[in-house]
Amino acid sequence: MSLFEIIFKMWIKQKSRLFFLILAVVIPSSIIITLYWAINIVKNDISSYIEKTGVKIEVKPVGDITLNYKGYSIGGNSGKLKLFSTKTINRLNNSKYKNFFLSVIPELTYNYIYKGSTIKIYGIELNKINKMNLSVKGKLPDSANEIIIGHKIANIESLKIGNKIFLKGKEFFISGILNTYGNVYDNSIIMDLMSANTLINKKNSINKIKIRLPYSLFEKRVHKEVLNELKSLLGKGYDVYLVKDDNIVKLNSIKNIVFFLHLLSIIIIVFSLLSISNFLMNSVKRRTKEIGILRSIGYKSKHIIYLILSEIFLISTIGVFISFLLSSFLTYFIVEYFISSDFRFVFDLKDIVIFILAITTVCILSGLLPAKKATETDPAEALNFI
């Protein structure tokens, strides 16, 4: 009779023991895999969005109120409109990083009183509006008399796509309505830059330049060099700063969570190692008779060790398979109902191999001491249990 036949016969006789041993492998493994899986889905979602939108740098005239915190800035308007010429953008062409600019968007932003309420006007060049990554019901403006209105304005004024509104006597048609953002865009109107200039009787004037850089430059801290160079190119009279991005903050937070997840994984692994080892030790004691019989019919210590480790290896293999199945269901439930993202497989072959090797190694290490203990069984003493 082969050792594997012996193992299966032992499993048949002790089903409850087998069940609890597999459970000891599956529960911690499923927890670790599910956490990694769900966190990596969120991390990939945020990373993809940041890679698409880039890191934002803004240029404003000196005097606009800005709040600076740890390298980030949140801009605002001081109440008095400070403008500069659109020709300022030409200076950016001298930047050695200009080929890295994902977009350069000149903008005119100011408060406007519409039917007694203060709203925000955003003047953007028509060919640049599509680079703002806006979520719009309808379409983006393609002429000077078309506008996009915020979700809040549309609801309050009962406005729909195709309706017309008048701003300072000038007629505009609503081409699109912004989906809910939960920020200033909810109470804003986005229009052609020249039209925004006309409303305040100005020409070729802006008060902001938005520059988007690849996130890879931010990760390499190259953005600081870009900021310094732009300040040098533009000279006095301009504030150049990195715009605070909640998605970057979230991504950094996730990286910190992953670090603590590594610590949690180590704790779970150690706990699992001790639990499985203790369970196997008790199992060896209960199987003294079986081991004694094997020793009495000629099985050597190395055969007993091989028997115990083969058993734990098979259990770990079954445990890994069940863990991935269980983690798939748990991750799907978490992602679909709590994170509101798309469930997908985020592990590559390297990750799978690491998980399998880690779980199998922990299980085998857990079985070393019980296996050694089993070899110390005296056949004559064990046969007394028959």
Domain residue extents for the chain? 3-48+250-385, 55-213
User: Higher confidence at residue 99 or residue 64?
Assistant: 99
The per-residue pLDDT for range 213-272, each reduced to its tens digit, is 888 887 778 888 999 999 999 988 899 988 877 777 777 787 788 788 778 877 877 777
**According to the model, what pLDDT value does residue 15 have?**
62
pLDDT at 331 over 80: yes
Say how far residue 386 (Cα) sits from the centre of its chain.
60
Say how far residue 145 (Cα) sits from the centre of its chain.
40
pLDDT at 16 over 70: no
pLDDT at 1 over 60: no
Cβ contact 252:343 at 8 Å: no
**With pLDDT > 70 as the criterion, what percentage of the chain qualifies?**
78
Tell me the CA end-to-end span of the chain in Å, nearest whole number: 21
* Backbone dihedral angles phi then psi of residue 169, each to the nearest 5 degrees: 80, -5
In this prediction, residues 191-201 reach a mean pLDDT of: 93
How is 332-350 classified by DSSP, letter by letter?
Answer: HHHIIIII---------HH
User: How would residue 377 be classed by pLDDT, with cut points 50, 70 and 90?
Assistant: low
Residues 6+ apart with CB under 8 A from 208: 58, 59, 60, 75, 106, 107, 108, 109
The per-residue pLDDT for range 129-172, each reduced to its tens digit, is 888 878 899 999 999 999 999 998 999 889 999 999 999 889 99
User: Higher confidence at residue 384 or residue 70?
Assistant: 384
Number of H helices, E strands in the chain: 11, 14
Q: Is the pTM for the entire model greater than 0.85?
A: no
